[in-house]
Chain A
Amino acid sequence: MSNHTDQDIIRLCRDPQTKERGFRILLSQYKERTYWHIRRILLDHEDANDITQDTFVKVWQNLDSFRGDSSLFSWIYRISTNESLNFLRKMKKMSTVPIEKVEYLLVDKLDNNNLIDGDDIEIKLQRYLLKLPEKQRLVFNMRYFEELKYKEISEILGTSVGGLKASYHHAIKKIEENLKID
């Protein structure tokens, strides 16, 4: 598959005649990354699937207003991050049991889910991630798993690179401590 640049995609999407074609290219280019990004936040496949679809519906609806002052990729990431966090918040709100942290809802998802199946240690890592503050978990995911540059993460989350480095550093420290104890 030939790789289209953001500019190509945006140009196609601007023209109503080619918007759908442009959007399909956008999808094929970004759907997997976006899905995995969301999945790492939400852990559950069905949830991630829903939010991935919602994200791209939003992308479609707002393509016209995309101003291009960040890369298409970080714009999509930003939308998907917000959608995911909103979802978690909603989940928290709808829970019948009053809960302090979304973590407890997500920990459940790690067990007894046939689409989550890895080494013990991989699951443990996910469990430790859930202990982190939301922001640190996000930064950790993007830096560690997705290997994004700080600058890119900064565009997505709108936080300073310095702050991100600090967050990542704290996250790494805590995770390492947890891994050490085992």
Chain B
Amino acid sequence: MKEKKDIENISKELEGFSKLQSLKGKQPFSVPDSYFDNLEDNIISKIAKEAGPRKIRMNTKQVLFYAAAASIVAIFIFIAMRSGNQDANQPQIADQPTETINQENPIANNNNQKEESIVDQRNDENIHRIESIEKNAVAVENDKNLDIQNQEIRNNTKDNNLNHKNTSNFNYANNDLEINNDGNLNINNGQTISSINGVNTSIGNSTTIARKAVHKYLDLGNDRCSSKAIRLDASVKHARDIKYQWSTKDTTSIIIAQESGLYWVNVYDLNDNLLGSDTVTITIIEKPRPNLGGDRSICNYESILISSGCRNTEYYYKWSVSDATTAEVYLSNMDPGTYQIELSVMSCSDTATSSMILTVNDCNLKIPNVITPNGDGRNDRFIISGLNHYSGSKLYIMDRTGSIVYESIDYKNDWAASNVQEGTYFYRLLLNDGKNTEKNGTLTIIRK
């Protein structure tokens, strides 16, 4: 009954499987004619559009750098002129350089620029130089914390008043230099955000800059897996005035993922504009602790189900005796012998092992058809090899007339035919194997 059900199940399963097999590689999707021929050009033109009016990336940076540098100059002129009265009137001194950022060639538009190039970009080393800024005061004060790295600010002209009080406080990081409209000077790529209070330079705006920073730094990392809670860090370097919204409803920049699942974070500016988001799948699985139990022994015709002692289906199981990757393996038709069974259970980066010894006995009975009980030590007794695996087996020996000459309800391979004559006898063995298998045959006794 049970077997029949099993067969039904298997054939059902096979049916599903073969349906799936027959579908391999088939899908109902199609694309418009010559879609792929045009895709390439569409992408290229989209990239060109994304790049906007700027021609290439290098130029953008150059423009930005220059604009920023010029703004700083302007700012400090202003600071120098009106020190102590910075908060009043929100001056628009930086107007001119502000405009240059939107123009194709800001350098040509700048009055300070007539004699020499103000920004000289050496492509390879990313070295920018500000050279010969005439009649401008560049003051950098400690508390302004302007950082420039990999840049060189040089002052060639005697009229210039470049106050560079403290080297460490005047570093530009690489070359992404931007000024946003609330007077913050943001330097990307580097370590510092600097602020020039009270000066409205109106270059760029905070959302754009925040978006750039978010785009660049928001990274929850790869999907990952651990046996412990995982720290998810969405904090965005250099971006201020941003808000975090996690799938967990948290609003902090860092959360601790306690359980498996998909986590996402959205980053908004203060006006709730979505600046960016990232997603990560976290799998938290407790460490596997496999336990195969003690050593076991079986007969060679028996099957055995060996269980890992783990239930988690997310684990990956590797058995030394099977290709199965399941939590249990079913072994059958094993050759007699001793097997070391090893199991590795993997999850995330954890691997745990367990092992046991499985002895497979040769339980096939070998029943002799002749014995020679003459005391020479060979074939003296009726020894049924393999019988030791079936203790409690009954043995009857009859002579030709059918009378029982020997019987045992738990035969121990010890009958030496001491009470009988030479001749042919019959044996009947009732095997204690749970099925009461009966074996009958003849046994010839010879004494020589």
Contacts and interface: CB of A to CB of B under 8 A. Distances in A.
Nearest to A176: B16
A45 B325 CA distance: 38
Given A115-B30, A122-B27, A163-B225, A134 B262 contact: yes
B31 A45 contact: yes
B277 interface: yes
A85 B280 CA distance: 10
Nearest to A32: B36
Interface centre among A57, A85, A116 (most CB of B within 10 A): A57
Interface stretch (B76-84, B91-99, B309-317): B309-317
B42 interface: yes
Nearest to A55: B43
B39 A31 contact: yes
Nearest to A28: B40
A159 B26 contact: no
Given A53-B43, A115-B30, A145 B36 contact: no
Contact of B315 (A27, A28, A122, A162): A162
Name the residue in B20, B35, B224 with the highest tally of chain A Cβ atoms < 10 Å from its Cβ: B20
A57 B43 contact: yes
Contact count band on A: 35 or more
Given A24-B40, A160-B346, A16 B58 contact: yes
B277 A86 contact: yes
A117 B24 CA distance: 17
Interface string A155-182: 0011111110110011010011111100
A82 B20 CA distance: 28
Contact of A179 (B19, B42, B50): B19
25 contacts: A20-B44, A24-B40, A27-B40, A35-B31, A39-B29, A40-B27, A40-B29, A52-B39, A86-B277, A115-B30, A115-B32, A116-B28, A116-B30, A117-B28, A118-B26, A135-B281, A159-B225, A160-B349, A163-B347, A163-B348, A166-B325, A176-B17, A179-B16, A179-B19, A180-B12
A35 B36 contact: yes
A116 B348 CA distance: 38
Interface of A: 16, 20, 23-24, 27-28, 31-32, 35-36, 39-40, 43, 45, 49, 52-53, 56-57, 60-61, 82, 85-86, 89, 115-119, 121-123, 125-126, 134-135, 144-145, 157-163, 165-166, 169-170, 172, 175-180
B40 A89 contact: no
B15 interface: yes
A-B pairs, 10 with minimum CB distance = A118-B28, A162-B316, A158-B222, A176-B16, A180-B16, A122-B28, A179-B16, A158-B223, A179-B19, A56-B43
Nearest to B264: A89
Interface string B324-365: 010000000000000000000011110000000000000000
A31 B277 CA distance: 25
Contacts of B314: 163, 166
Interface residues of B, number: 48
Contacts of B349: 160
Nearest to B45: A53
Interface of B: 12-13, 15-17, 19-20, 23-32, 35-36, 39-40, 42-44, 46-47, 50, 56, 58, 222-225, 262, 264, 277, 279, 281, 283, 313-316, 325, 346-349
Contact of A165 (B12, B25, B264, B325): B325
Contacts of B223: 157-159
Contacts of A179: 15-16, 19-20
B31 A24 contact: no
B44 A24 contact: yes
A119 B315 contact: no
Nearest to A110: B28
B279 A121 contact: no
Nearest to A167: B314
A179 B13 CA distance: 9
A116 to B, nearest CB: 5
Contacts of A115: 29-32
A31 B29 contact: no
